[in-house]
Structure formats: structure tokens, C-alpha cells
Structure 1
């Protein structure tokens, strides 16, 4: 059987961030509460000129040249940051990227799990149609409110994954084990701009899911944790990954790899559906001991709740299918906001509703940006063309 998996991976985050030492001091907290207790150093802040659609298009546009050719038959966006209750963000992404219309495009929403559902659906699609490819994008803006208990676990970004037969980055195995339970740990009723969260309950639910699902995976497939070179986790904050690994094993080797897989999340924050795949990118960027044939375990969790564990094997050309230097340069080029600037940016979002509005470009240097809203719908700029559409 032909192997199927991730052929290439790309990442985008807005060009503004707040340093969490600055934020801790402004909130009257010890910085160690954020940098050690939560495990975060910086937090990406999305201006009004970025939303899930513009970020998704910006991430996909950074995939290797020629990735999105006529073989593409499926586009899936996983997100819980939707800006329309009916129309899929994936449809607008298809247009912004200039893709062929002869494909299927839709969104998946289930908290932070949506992109994993998309990846595994894309894997099944390509397995059935090995001459086709699929594009899966995780794109989210995590917002909890100024001075809210979850403020330090906000963030913004998107991860784009090209799925193909004979993948050159990660072979995704057909061994996923999923578990679903109706839990009230996190939800955002329609009309609210920030979620309702029971943080302690959600953390305990996450840990219960990771131990329960991993044990079930071992029962079904006969694996043990020593089979894995690294274990990757959904990271709403990086300390969560440390807790998850500790609930499974005290293996120092896996802990070292967990730290490498947390480097980017420490600088970007929580990107909901993309957090697990940002962890994958971080591992490959920051642990140069990874080798083709290494087996990875991936745990995905979405509040509400759905969890899933599956495995993958690094392909021969994996290091060529990410742009580690580009990620480093993007993060280095960001503008550090003062806390008052961050607070003003947080509040200066496009309001709910369908009233006409224009969003200034400001200092946003991304290719795709939100232009505003007209005729009830958002419109977007492609800044390589100097016009909105």
C-alpha cells in the first residue's frame, strides 16, 4: 500500500507580539508565573488586519513552489475562529490562492481538534485517490480577554499542510484511536467574542484523555512508549505538554524532545487547532538529532471534547520540506508591542455584525490582509496586487 502523509508544512503568525515579562509586570504578577508556571515567553497578537482566512492563505502561500498544482482535490480549514456562520473559510482561501475551482473545500470545527480531523480526512482521501493531493490548514486566534485568567494563553497563527501519497515529510499511519465525551470544559456560544472556560476542569479532562487514549492505542496496536523517538502534544500552553508527558512516562529522552517541540509555542502562544502541528514544526526546526525513520506519536485534544492519538514516521527528505530559516526570520522580524499597544490592538477588532467597515493596513506586512467588510461580507487584500477584492 502506498504511504500517505504530510508532504510539506508551512507556518504563519502575525508580525506583532507582546513579551510576557512586560505583561506580567503590567498585571502585577511575578514573570515566573508566566514563563515557568505556564511555560510561555511571548504571545502573538493579531491586528484587525488578520483573521483566520488571511492567516490561512498566508501560511499556504509559503508552501514550497508548485505544491498547490492541478493534483489538488481537497482543501480543509480547521478552525474555531470562524467569521461566518454559514460560508466556509476554505472557499475564500481557494480564491485568494488562485487555486483551481475543481476541488472540494470545507471547514471543520471542534475546538482545537479540527485540524486533526482534517488531516486524517485528507489522509483517507489521498489513500483512495493517490494521484491527488489535499491541503489542510489550521488557523486560529486565541482570545480570552484583557486581564482575564486565560490572557497569558492567547496567541495567533496558522499551519498549512500538503497531504500526498509518497510524502516527503511525515508518513501518517492508519492507527488513529479517538475518544469522545460531552464535557462542559470550554465553549463559545454564538455572539460571544471570547470563550467560557473552566481551566482546571479542562486541564484534568486533557490529562484523562491522553492517558486513556494512549493506553487504548497500546492495547490495539501493541506499541510501547519506547517505540517513539518523540511524543507531540496539543499545546494550549507549553506546561500542558510537560504535564501530559509526565502523566505517561518519566523518560528523559522524550522530555528533551518535548522541550524542542515547545520552542515555537513559547514564542507564539496558543493557536488552537494548529498547536499540535506547530509542535511538529518546532521539533524538526530545533532538534537536529531527528532522523528519517524516526517514529513520532501525536496527541490531539479539542475541548468539548474529542481526543485522538496517532503515529507517523519521518520521511527521507523531511528537513527539506520545512523552511526553518524562514520561520526564524519571521519571528525575528516581529514588532514587540508595549502593553498599552497590545491592549489597544486587542480592542481594535472588526466588530461583530455586517455593517460596512474598512480596516487600515497599518504596519501589517503580510501578503494577505483583511480589508474590511462590504455587502455584509469581509473582503481581503492581496498586497502583491495592491488591491482588494
Structure 2
């Protein structure tokens, strides 16, 4: 019999667990190799290190490791978990969810005690919308938890944020997974019903299926071998006479669809989309939560704010527009502008849109350099940047890494957060933002003490540039570190047939040096 839940029962995040790879590349090492000025990356963007996935790791192993820790420290039985919803933009399959691989690994771990069907009634799915997929999963799971007493759900974000070597996004890379325990009467933070949403269909960052003709592939390969265009045409002609046998070139299609881990992106445009979407989502959120965006600074109601952080200082660089909006709403802008000598550019004073946008950007940067804004950053944003500086971009888990960083920093500093409210700004390219708020609960310290996030990050091993590049290219002969007490990718089936591409996973208990899945 279903038990109806009253609206007074709080729902939210009861606990969190992070899995970050045990190896990292210092940003100083990358800067030296790329002839980049380290100070600009460190002081300008807040970058110190990037987490790097080892040869035996992928998004499924990282997620399984995070979920297992969450279940173990909360002594959860598999049958108690009603769903595991996964946010990722790093899937390696166009049909089979990564969450099913996570479930497979968890079943391997628990079946000796609970049987092979211990997760039979657990609902799993992947949600994909760039970096906001795990927030979508959280919102969905919160609604599900409200629908029945004692429902327990897990949300996990897992990604390998990878860019082309030498590209403008390379130094923002990262890898890892964060799992959230979602339930009624949470120890950590309750989340309200108000959700601001802003969505516009744009192409700021995406990972399309690239189309390549067989002729172009043959031409490129034969050119590298010192052959000419005629050889490519002759090879293509012979291909047409061969029966399809499931090979890459001998398939029946004229074109080859290529999926790359790295994105097509426009950095400046994506930043502009980020700025606009979070402002629009905040405006949508305000009346739902009982705030007046025209008359108050909504951020003033929040003790801290957690953001999606493509790089550590993204939020402090993108928030001045909202800060300006709130200064105007509270009637403080005129005196504040006079104090700091700021003059907002007017669109009608510029001959073209590009000139105005440039002037407006310079104006917002001037706001970000004022003493008042710097104090605002230190009070509300900076604590969420600490872990990001050491890890890099986690895509779907980035906003939750920010939250863990805030909570650990507050615990270290002896802050009392019970009853305080946090604001959350999520963003996914393509593009969408969601804004919501949460209230810290009485058990936040108890839960946060078990994170040990900074302690674990301090124990990681730095790798050199050569090792990083081999891992990035997928050419590493073995894992950089021995594999112990974690799940790993054991094998990828390359044989033609009904299991081509299937991935097999296992768990290492004793330390072992592993070759990548063959």
C-alpha cells in the first residue's frame, strides 16, 4: 500500500561520495610543454592540476567506485536502492546505458552476499545534456523520492573531460565521478520545489557524429603511405566489389560515422551562453521561490553558491552580470558606480553589435575587479573553487564537486551552516541552466567528515607529460599505478559477432599492474 507523503517532509541529498583518479598532471608541467604562461592559468583561471583517468579506467568504473563507496559507508543493501540515475556526456555506447555497466559491477561485488538478482528491481538510466545531465537526474530523483515513503535513490555523475592535445580547452581537462544519496529527511541538505530553467538551442559545445567518406579515409591513409589519389580510387573500386562483412571499410554504408571523445566548441561563445542562461534561469527561479528579482539581491539569501565550473574561476568571471542586475534591483548601483568610477556602455552608442559586446565585456571585467565584488567572491564563491583547482572539469559532476568543496572548507573553518541556504547554478552546453536552492540540515557535519576529499587529493601521484600524452592517445602499455580495491576495465570484445564492442569489468583487491582492456 502506497503511503502518501506530505509536502512538509524534506527531501534532498543525504550523503555524497567522490571517486577521483589517483594520478594527475600538474598544470605547470602542461604549461611548460605548451609554452604557456603558468601564471595566467593559475592566477587567471585558478588551475593547479588536472585529474587524469588511468589506462584501466572509464566513466563506468569511476561511477561504480563512487556508488560503491556511497553504499558501503551508508550500509545500504542492494534491495534498498530503488534507482541509480547517471548523468554523463562521456558514454561509449549509443544504445546501452553506462548505468547498466555500473549495475553489473555492483552486482559482481554484492552477489556473494545478496544473490545474483540483488539489483533486479533497481531502475537505471543515463541522462545526457552536456554538463547538466546529473542535475537533471537529481531533479527527477527528488520528485521520485517524494512519491513514496522510504524510497532511496542514487544519482551519479561520471565523465572524462577530454580535449584535443594542444587545444584551447586542454588545460581545463579533468576526470572523476560523484555519487549522491537522495532520500527523505536528508542529513546533508534539503532541496526545495522551486527550479528555474532556461533553455536555448545553440552550438556552443557539442560532440557530433563526424561523417567521413570511405574515399577520404583511403586517400588519407594512402597519402601517409606515399601513395597518390589514383591508388585511393582503385582501392575504393575494389571495395565496391567486396561483400559486406562487418568491417569498417567493407560495411555497406558509403560513409563512416566517427564518434570522438573530444568536442567541437567555441569558448568565448560558450562563456556568453553560460552568463545568459544562469541569469535567465535565476529570473525564472525567483518568483517560484518567493523572491522578487526586481527589488532584491537574491544571492543575499544564500550563504554560499555552488556552480558548474568548467575551470575553477569560471563562476567569479561569469557572475558580474547577475551582480550588476542585483545592484540595480536594490537601488545600490548608482552610488556604487560612482564610487568605483564605472559607466555602463549603452548599446545605442555603438555602430555594431561586436563593438558593444566588447565594451560590455570590459565593463563586466571592471566590476569583477572592484573591492566589493572581490569580497562577495570570497564570501560566497571561493570555497567551491578549491577542489576544482586541483581536479579540473568533471562535466556532470562539477557542480557537486563544488558543493563538496564548500562543505569541507566550512567544516575545516568551524562554520555553523545548519539552517543556512545555498544557491546552485547548473549549466549544460547546448544550452540549458537550472537554478535551485537547498537548506543545510543538522547532520551536515557528520556527513561531511566522511568525504575526506582534500585528504585524498593530497595523496595522489603526479605523472610526467609523456605518461599523460600516452594515456590521452590511448597508447599506454599499462596503468600508471597498480590497481587495488577498485573496479577496472578488463576487456573490450573486438571479435565480429553478437558481442562486438561489449565491455567486461572486474574488481581488483590485491595490487596489480594491468594492461589496458584489449
Once residues 281 and 70 of structure 1 are traced to their aligned partners in structure 2, the CA distance between those partners, rounded to angstroms, is 27
* 2:279 matches 1:270: no
Q: Is the 2:484–2:510 contact (alpha carbons within 8 Å) kept by the matching residues of 1?
A: no
1:38 shift after superposition: 1.8
Q: Which moved more, 1:331-340 or 1:360-369?
A: 360-369
Once the two structures are superposed, the pairs formed by residues 74-85 of structure 1 within 5 Å of their partners are 74-85=83-94
Q: CA deviation at 1:380?
A: 1.0
Over 3 Å counting, the alpha-carbon distance change for 1:360 and 1:287 in structure 2 is: closer
Q: Specify the SS of the correspondent of 2:405.
A: helix
Q: Please tell me the root mean square deviation across aligned C-alpha atoms, in Å.
A: 2.2
Instruction: After TM superposition, give the deviation of residue 34 of structure 1 in Å.
Output: 1.0
Match of 1:229 in 2: 303
Q: CA deviation at 1:245?
A: 3.0
Distance across 2 between alignment mates of 1:220 and 1:170: 19
Aligned partner of 1:137 in structure 2 is 156
Structure 2 gaps, min length 5: 1-6, 108-117, 210-258, 292-297, 324-372, 494-498
2:171 matches 1:165: no
Instruction: Note closer, same or farther for the CA distance 1:349–1:256 as it changes in structure 2 (3 Å cut).
Output: farther
Cα pair 2:281 2:433 within 8 Å, conserved: yes
> TM-score under structure 2 normalisation?
0.70
Q: Deviations over 1:162-194 (max 9, x none)?
A: 100111111011101111110010111131221
* Correspondence 1:196-207 to 2 at 5 A: 196-207=264-275
Name the structure 2 match of 1:340: 466
Asked whether 1:119 is paired with 2:162, we answer no
| Partner Cα separation in structure 1 for residue 173 and residue 442 of structure 2 | 35
Aligned-partner Cα distance in 1 for 2:100–2:63: 11
CA distance in 2, matches of 1:362, 1:251: 41
Match of residue 49 from structure 2:
42
* Alpha-carbon distance between aligned partners in 2 of 1:290 and 1:68, rounded to the nearest angstrom: 32
- Name the one with the larger helix percent: 2
SS in 1 for 2:82: strand
Instruction: Supply the distance in 1 between the matched residues of 2:377 and 2:35 (Cα, whole angstroms).
Output: 35
Aligned mates of 1:266, 1:286 — CA distance in 2: 14
Give the deviation of 1:25 after TM superposition: 1.3
The Cα offsets for residues 312-353 of structure 1, whole Å up to 9 and x where unpaired, read as: 011110122235563233212211011122111111269xxx
Q: Post-superposition shift, 1:72? A: 1.4
Once the two structures are superposed, the pairs formed by residues 1-389 of structure 1 within 5 Å of their partners are 1=7, 2-63=9-70, 64-98=73-107, 99-190=118-209, 191-223=259-291, 224-249=298-323, 250=373, 252-253=375-376, 255-288=378-411, 289-323=415-449, 326-348=452-474, 362-365=481-484, 367-374=486-493, 375-376=499-500, 377-384=502-509
Are 1:113 and 1:300, in contact at CA under 8 Å, matched by a contact in 2?
yes
CA shift digits 1:20-62 (9 cap, x unpaired): 0111111111101211222211000112211110000111122
Q: What's the CA shift string for 1:230-280, capped at 9, x where partnerless?
A: 111100001211123333233725533311111001000000000000000
Q: 1:361, CA displacement in angstroms?
A: 8.1
Task: Write the distance in 1 (CA, Å) between the matches of 2:402 and 2:30.
Answer: 24
Change (3 A) 1:309 1:145: same
| C-alpha distance after superposition, 1:128-164 (max 9, x if no partner) | 1232110100000000021111001100010000100
Greater CA drift, 328-337 or 4-13 = 328-337
Aligned to 2:90, the other structure's residue is in SS state coil
Contact 2:17 2:179 in 1 (8 A): yes
Q: What is the rounded CA distance, in whole Å, between the counterparts of 2:280 and 2:416 in structure 1?
A: 28
Q: How many residue pairs are counted as aligned between the two chains?
A: 382
Larger radius of gyration between Structure 1 and Structure 2: 2
- Say whether the 8 Å CA contact 1:227–1:295 is kept in structure 2: yes
CA drift at 1:104:
0.9
Does the CA-based 8 Å contact 2:313-2:385 persist in structure 1?
Answer: no
After superposition, the Cα gap between the structure-2 partners of 1:77 and 1:325, relative to the gap in structure 1 and judged at 3 Å, is closer
**Residues of 2 paired with 1:386 and 1:18: CA distance?**
22
Is the partner of 1:270 in helix, strand or coil? coil
Structure 2 counterpart of 1:353: none
Separation in structure 1 between the aligned mates of residue 475 and residue 284 of structure 2, nearest angstrom: 43
What is the TM-score normalised by the length of structure 1?
A: 0.93
Conserved 8 A contact 2:196-2:286: no
Q: Secondary structure at the match of 1:287?
A: helix
